[in-house]
Chains A and B, each alone.
Chain A
Amino acid sequence: MKPARVMLVDDTPTRSALLEQALLDQGYLVVCRLESAQGLIKNVEIHQPDIIIMDLESPDRDTLENMTILNQHNPKPVIMFSGEGDSAIISQAVQAGVSAYVVDGLNPNRVKAILDVAIARFREYQALRKELKNTRDQLADRKVIDKAKGLLMKAKDLDEEQAYHAMRKMAMDQSKPLVEIAHNILSVLELLTP
């Protein structure tokens, strides 16, 4: 059996690189990776993919949809993967942000296998992004807290331990996160300091 030819359209290169590697590992052929639908139709003609995987949140989806049966000049009909009666997989795909277009009737089982890989990678990427954001937020919080602590030390002539302690107490008394207390201190002290 010839390996299925996959085309990826995704404006997030990190994600599509992840997906490409995963597909290659499973023995599929990634014939083309595009960041937008610019030149999409031409690339479909050149690379002859069996399936196109596209980021659901790309505004270019409507352009791709036009390559459906409406386009009578296109010898290869492109249809959206509909998986007859298998709406669970479609729902999963939509949730994960994946859309798939099948060219010229690729076997539904093979479509599903490819789609499963794509869904898994898109989810993984979502989780990665979330983790990265958490780390960044924590770092940013750390900076704000340190800055507030510094200003408080200067303003109230406290040592580091005392300043930190005072902030912790305020946070507990007002049942607010420490970072919010730090923001409040910053806004007040920055107002008072010329």
Chain B
Amino acid sequence: MLHRVFALVVKELLAVLKDVKSRMVLVGPPIIQLVVFGYAANYDLNHVPFAVYNEDPSQPSRELVARFEGAPAFQEVARIHSDAEVGPLIDRRQALMVLHIDRRFSRDLLRGSAGHVQLILDGRNSNTALLLMGYANTILSDFDTWWSERHGGPKPPATLDIRARFNENLESRWFIVPGIVALLTQVVTLLVTALSVARERENGTFDQLLVTPMRPIDILLGKSIPGFLIGSVEATFIITAGVLWFGVPLRGGFVALYLGLFLFLLSVIGVGLMVSSLSVTQQQALLGTFLFMVPSIILSGFATPIANMPPMVQYLTYVNPMRYFLIVVRSVFLEGSSTRSLVPQYWPMMIIGFVTLAMAGWLFRRRLY
């Protein structure tokens, strides 16, 4: 029996690796997506164009403007001198923010009351607007502290001492790159397994396989193992690139990571084989993969937090294996989590894997056409 399974595994690997098209699927998208996601999918802001509308040419206001200009997030693109100029600048997206310093700014400051500034933000991209607001607030509060120290004003009764754990400099790359491990492993493994049975059905070889003395369990094993091998190699490649190329720290142990990977692959292969045994042609398999993949990526927490979703949608994410594996990779990478603490992520993937594999095995023979 082992001998037969081994022969099937060898055959599957040969079929995938010898076909130019499947080789492309294994090599092309991972590298492109790693580069695109690693570099393009980025929430950090640099050189955001902003304009200064300073109605109070004085030393304090110049100091404040200098602080904005000095921040890496901002880049001054214009100086304007009337209210009427604000509108067009923002409308045309020439500036995403206008820093408007009130005519009485320095007078008020020196008198000890609050100096007024106005920040006008382009809200078309709400995320960018929120981040800009955060950057601006930090600059303003630094200015406050500096001013208070210089002019002996009353100190604030308490100050914020903000620290970020696990990702001290809040680099979104540290968040995105471990996510790519899950994303690409899912895409590649799903495509390899989902097309495997459908391709054989389309070519008529699946009948030939069913007529041999192989049992459904042998076929199931023979079809799953190549997915495990390819998925593991793929994941290892991205993990290595993440650490060595993108400089993301890997703080946890390999056992915790690879146990998660194994269970994740189990569930993805189960889904892939289920899609595959439901479809008659490769095209249907591709469509099925697409239909599973898009919601599973969006509802996994890969790009946006699950916590922000409405409760109904959050329940839906519990059947999504990628949700659990994303937590595993990110925790192992950044938090250095232990195997024990990740048990709540492991068992749901195991259950999803067993259920889908059992259904796939059942569908191999039941499927009528």
The reply to whether chain A is a binding partner of chain B is no
